[in-house]
Structure 1
Amino acid sequence: MELLKSILKIAHNIYSLHEKASCNKKQCNRLRKRIELLMVPVEKLNKQAKMRKDHDDILQELLCTMSNAESWIQKYSNRMWLLKFIKANRIKEEFDLINDRLRDAAEALIMLTSVEHTQDFLKYFDEKEWKKQNIKAIEADINDIKEYLKGEMGSVAENVVYVADKVDSMSNKFDNMTTKMDRLEDLYKNLEAQLFSGIRMPWNPKIIQAADLVQTELLMETRDCLLYRGDYHKSPVTIKVLKGELSKDNETVRRSFDSDCKTMKKFECMNILRLYGICIDNSKSEPYYCMVTEFCEKGTLRELLSSDKNLPWEQRILMALDAARALYRLHQSEHKTVLYGNLSSSKFLVDGNGCLKLYGFGLSKTESSMRRSCNVKKREKNTEWIYTAPETLKDINAYDKHSEIYSLGVVFYEIASGNIPLQGLPVSEKLEEVYQLLSTEMEMGIPTDCPTILQDLIKKTTDINPKNRPSAGAVVDLLLNHLNKEANHE
């Protein structure tokens, strides 16, 4: 009952914050409406004489999601907070995540209560619908903020000039008022750019013309492809050029690409590597096929953790959140769960801002259609067994979402310690002994100053019992909740 009271209390706090919102009003309003709907089954549970024990996990996750929703409104409905947090470039991602988790809660709650008109109730949490609505709301909110900034230019100028004068007295960088006002103009131009950088446009993979691509540095060569750094419309990209015997059936390639694009669109997320499109060029004697994705200059997560041992804990927590959010996006697809298959630290790329991007899936049909034989590229045996859950090593068919959560837990350990556990140890038939060694090393290898949230999640996600491991959504909630609390203490 205490859980229900806490949930209802946060809901009322959100309603109050919504009334006071000075920006992002439309998004706040949409969030409030969904929460009001969710409180209908919550109120029903609150009136029940007894609560079953199996309700606690669902309600505990909802409480964490509600707390994150409250933090989102606190940060982004107040202009002063907005200007402080805008550089995080995560407004839309946090909002989408909270809406996803509210949808999860809605589906769970209707199983606990007899909600009338279930389908009508769930349609308000439909992913496709709320994403369309949110794009319009975001555009309107951004325009409101821009108008506010223009209107406040005069009053803010006085404060900026005062600060500039203080700087002048120390460094003599400003010669006159004209220079100061020029800097003020630059400030607002940069702020406007930051506002729009927080709005990630929807993915729109397409057939790219060869003339629009510029290949520069060769990054890597494998048996099946060449990886280049390149430019696409002046944006840095990675160009994967296929090698081997290639097909000349362009129509089949296009159909496969269209099919794969529909699949990829379902997993659109800042933590899934963005696909710009494919290039087909048969103008020469040999066919030329390549795939174009966003460029991640810091390489793989494994490479970064090996080269930089002094990453601050806040950055490590953000990396853990990125990894969990990527997996959540696959597991919680609106249509069906998608399993990645061989998750490890080498499957995440890191961009210039330190943001993790999961890569290596989604274009299987396209790449197969580009080759003369679909069996040219066979699945290689996974030698990174240390990421494999105990139940899967015992039975290859025992692989599900819980198994991937275990792999995520090992990645978390790497993020915390910088090391791969039991590296170089061969697989033993005595699995119990191996996993006991693994558990011991992971417990001893975590730095003493590691934040409690990360220590707890490593332990929970690598639990020997699959049923005791949290879902990807619950992991994301806990990490985001931790970051929100840290931000509130600053």
Structure 2
Amino acid sequence: MDIVERVFSIAQSLYAQFEQVKCCTHQCQRLVERIHILLEPVKVLRAQPGMHISQHEEELLKKLLRTLGEAQRLVTKYSQASWIQKFLRARSSGEEFVWVNESLEDIAQGLSLLLQAEQKQAFLEAFQAKTCRWQDAEDLRNDRAFLDEVIASTENPEDTEICLDRQCVESKVDWMQSELNKVVRMMECLKKVDVDKREDITEIQREHLTFRRHLQDTDSYDLYEGEYLKYPVAIKTFKRPLTTDPVKVRDIFEKEVQTLKKFESPNILRMYGICIEEQDRSPCFSIVMEYCEHGTLREVLTKQQQLSWERRLRMALGAARGLYRLHQTEKKSRLHGCINSSKFLVAGDYCVKLSGFELCETELSIKRRVKKKNWNRVSTLAYVAPENMKDIYYPYKRPYEIYSFGIVLWEIATSKIPFEGCTPQEIKEKICEHHYREPVGEDCPEDLRKIIDQCRAFDPSQRPSAEQIVDLLADLKRSRNQGS
């Protein structure tokens, strides 16, 4: 039996076992509900011709198998009468469900790539961290309140077990009925998956765009907040475009889209497409992309100095997932080319998304070059890896971007601007001659400090991969949640 069928087999067994649950009913039910939703993208894999599974998808399925095994252990545990008295004494089931639920959230981020945009949005809503934490806390309160009621109504331990059997069934039926409608609505959105079709990045008609608010004015483009088919978007409209040949731009765009489709991820800025208005032989070119209401990561860190460590860790993990998705997509390294805190954008829920490489070839074919101001060189130098700072001909590889990402993590931890006030020569001397690394504040969690320092290692071979950074940050976030 292959890995996909093993996933479905364990899930079916888990569904059946849930019918025997005697306590922690709300928490177990929520777990089963999330697993049921999580299987929708797995069905997409199962339906693919030849059921071809990439290495990345196989790793996600292996992690899902491990998590399903732990979920099955929990459901089985609270189905056994022998555990009821232990639970009545301990009354501390909440911690046991944390790891399983957070693992399901992580897996959902990866599996969501298999869904089209509409299904993906509905799918990820079920695993939104803030919503899940609220639901988990509510389920724990309900389970404890139910037990308090049972204990108060019985004095004999044997009577308690009998009462649990009866009242648990009644409680489960009532609660499941109230939750059923939510799941049905969610599954209606998800069941329309077309295996052979992914959401296209396309040429957009001008009448489908609505311009709402002017956000930014640069020498080469104007940036607007707007709507595309009722979705909030950012629209970048180019001034005095380099070319007036729409055919050339369309050709470059079509070729680039084939590559860009591989990078669908909740942590990579989504591209909707390009809009070309042909009028009076002077076409107007616009690129339409996902709108992130908080702006760049750098702007958030400047404006919101008192961010909680929970939020900082969430933003760090989101940024790392975006970089990992870029680095692991192809056998031949796909590099960003300019990792810094202004290349990450922050959505309304503080989900961080990597930007700055989408449709870059199309944009280069449109955008007229403008002379950059000197201050840009200073800020950019802070992200240059030591080996490249010493030798400009040193190959640009993944470890370079990991060093740059280490500086971004330092910014997330401190909210400061790297090497603020230093000249380019001072930055170079500090790094190349003195092996200086800007300190992280004393309040920074020790494990996060270690990750930042590993990324900023002077020896490129000592720096972790993007995948390792994601795992380390996910473990840190999980351990802090369990400890709180």
Normalised TM-score (structure 2) = 0.64
Measure, in 2, the Cα distance between the counterparts of 1:376 and 1:299. Answer: 24
Matches within 5 A, 1:223-242: 223-242=219-238
Q: Secondary structure at the match of 2:285?
A: strand
Q: How has the CA–CA distance of structure 1 residues 273 and 212 changed in structure 2, closer, same or farther, with 3 Å as cutoff?
A: same
1:455 to 449, 460, 473: 449
Q: How has the CA–CA distance of structure 1 residues 73 and 422 changed in structure 2, closer, same or farther, with 3 Å as cutoff?
A: farther
Measure, in 1, the Cα distance between the counterparts of 2:228 and 2:290. Answer: 10
Tell me how far 1:468 sits from its aligned partner.
0.4
Tell me how far 1:246 sits from its aligned partner.
4.8
Measure, in 2, the Cα distance between the counterparts of 1:19 and 1:212. Answer: 44
Which residue is equivalent to 2:406? 409
Q: Secondary structure at the match of 1:346?
A: coil
Q: Is the 8 A contact 2:382 2:427 kept in 1?
A: no
Q: Is the 8 A contact 2:60 2:107 kept in 1?
A: no
Which residue is equivalent to 1:340? 336
- Structure 2, unmatched stretches of 5+, are 1-6, 16-31, 47-57, 76-93, 127-138, 150-174
Q: How has the CA–CA distance of structure 1 residues 186 and 479 changed in structure 2, closer, same or farther, with 3 Å as cutoff?
A: same
1:366 to 354, 362, 365: 362
Residue by residue over 1:307-328, the C-alpha shift from the partner in whole angstroms, topping out at 9 and shown as x without a partner, is 1122121211111111111111
Q: How has the CA–CA distance of structure 1 residues 366 and 422 changed in structure 2, closer, same or farther, with 3 Å as cutoff?
A: closer
Matched, 1:258 2:254: yes
Matches within 5 A, 1:422-433: 422-428=419-425, 431=428, 433=430
Report the number of matched residues. Answer: 371
Measure, in 1, the Cα distance between the counterparts of 2:299 and 2:260. Answer: 26
Q: Secondary structure at the match of 2:424?
A: coil
Return the letter of the residue paired with 2:413. Answer: A
Tell me how far 1:428 sits from its aligned partner.
2.6
Measure, in 1, the Cα distance between the counterparts of 2:73 and 2:111. Answer: 12
Matches within 5 A, 1:49-448: 70-71=66-67, 74=70, 91-95=107-111, 202-284=198-280, 286-370=282-366, 376=369, 382-383=377-378, 384-398=380-394, 399-428=396-425, 431=428, 433-434=430-431, 439-442=436-439, 445-448=440-443
Measure, in 2, the Cα distance between the counterparts of 1:290 and 1:92. Answer: 32
Measure, in 1, the Cα distance between the counterparts of 2:40 and 2:211. Answer: 44
Return the letter of the residue paired with 1:387. Answer: Y
Q: Secondary structure at the match of 2:227?
A: strand
Normalised TM-score (structure 1) = 0.63
Tell me how far 1:440 sits from its aligned partner.
5.0
Q: Is the 8 A contact 1:260 1:365 kept in 2?
A: yes
Q: Secondary structure at the match of 1:412?
A: helix
Measure, in 2, the Cα distance between the counterparts of 1:454 and 1:387. Answer: 19
Measure, in 2, the Cα distance between the counterparts of 1:243 and 1:464. Answer: 42
Measure, in 2, the Cα distance between the counterparts of 1:272 and 1:244. Answer: 29
Which residue is equivalent to 1:475? 469
Return the letter of the residue paired with 2:391. Answer: D
Return the letter of the residue paired with 2:357. Answer: F
Which residue is equivalent to 1:43? none
Tell me how far 1:401 sits from its aligned partner.
0.5
Residue by residue over 1:339-374, the C-alpha shift from the partner in whole angstroms, topping out at 9 and shown as x without a partner, is 111211111110001011111113133223336xxx
Q: How has the CA–CA distance of structure 1 residues 244 and 69 changed in structure 2, closer, same or farther, with 3 Å as cutoff?
A: farther
Q: Secondary structure at the match of 2:216?
A: strand
Tell me how far 1:212 sits from its aligned partner.
0.7
Q: How has the CA–CA distance of structure 1 residues 192 and 348 changed in structure 2, closer, same or farther, with 3 Å as cutoff?
A: farther
Q: Secondary structure at the match of 1:428?
A: helix
Which residue is equivalent to 1:112? none
Which residue is equivalent to 1:21? 14
Measure, in 1, the Cα distance between the counterparts of 2:199 and 2:181. Answer: 26
Return the letter of the residue paired with 1:348. Answer: F
Q: How has the CA–CA distance of structure 1 residues 249 and 433 changed in structure 2, closer, same or farther, with 3 Å as cutoff?
A: closer
Measure, in 2, the Cα distance between the counterparts of 1:232 and 1:342. Answer: 28
Tell me how far 1:245 sits from its aligned partner.
3.8
Tell me how far 1:239 sits from its aligned partner.
0.4
Which residue is equivalent to 1:118? none
Tell me how far 1:28 sits from its aligned partner.
11
Measure, in 1, the Cα distance between the counterparts of 2:451 and 2:306. Answer: 21
Measure, in 2, the Cα distance between the counterparts of 1:199 and 1:467. Answer: 45
Q: Secondary structure at the match of 2:470?
A: helix
Tell me how far 1:252 sits from its aligned partner.
1.8
Q: Is the 8 A contact 1:91 1:198 kept in 2?
A: no
Return the letter of the residue paired with 1:454. Answer: L
Tell me how far 1:488 sits from its aligned partner.
5.0
Q: Is the 8 A contact 2:235 2:289 kept in 1?
A: yes
Q: Is the 8 A contact 2:268 2:355 kept in 1?
A: yes
Q: Percent identity?
A: 33
- Structure 1, unmatched stretches of 5+, are 1-13, 35-61, 97-130, 146-155, 167-182
Tell me how far 1:427 sits from its aligned partner.
2.4
Residue by residue over 1:359-392, the C-alpha shift from the partner in whole angstroms, topping out at 9 and shown as x without a partner, is 1113133223336xxx635788743211111111
Tell me how far 1:74 sits from its aligned partner.
4.6
Measure, in 1, the Cα distance between the counterparts of 2:362 and 2:453. Answer: 39
Return the letter of the residue paired with 1:447. Answer: E
Measure, in 1, the Cα distance between the counterparts of 2:73 and 2:277. Answer: 49
Q: Is the 8 A contact 1:239 1:292 kept in 2?
A: yes
